[in-house]
Amino acid sequence: MVVDDQTSAVLMVAWMNQESYQKTLETGQTWFWSRSRQELWHKGETSGNTQEVKRMWLDCDEDTLLLRVKPAGPACHTGKQSCFFKEVVLRRRK
């Protein structure tokens, strides 16, 4: 999960493999693995909307990362600041 270091807003969730994890550690920028395209991708490589990693944590099982970043532009390919902008309206039974 990637969150804005200043606002704590959730920006995106993306997959990392060992190679993208290592590139992120080495460069201080976010790198991910595209499961659909089967390739490594550097966030912002084409858009310029990079993410500078400020802090990073592993969860207790060491299978999930939380990255706090300084974003240089929107996180979402739609141009939205966050990928989470489609609210689901819950219909609760009475």
CATH of the domain at 48: 3.10.20.810
pLDDT at residue 82, rounded to an integer? 95
Contact 51, 42 (CB under 8 A): no
Residue 18 lies inside a defined structural domain of this protein:
yes
pLDDT at residue 93, rounded to an integer? 80
79, pLDDT greater than 80:
yes
Residue 77 lies inside a defined structural domain of this protein:
no
Q: Into how many domains does the chain fold?
A: 1
* Domain carrying residue 27: 2-71
Residue 51 lies inside a defined structural domain of this protein:
yes
Average pLDDT for the chain: 95
56, pLDDT greater than 80:
yes
CA–CA dist 24, 3 (Å, integer): 15
Residue 19 lies inside a defined structural domain of this protein:
yes
Model confidence, pTM: 0.88
Residue 87 lies inside a defined structural domain of this protein:
no
pLDDT at residue 92, rounded to an integer? 85
9, pLDDT greater than 90:
yes
pLDDT at residue 37, rounded to an integer? 92
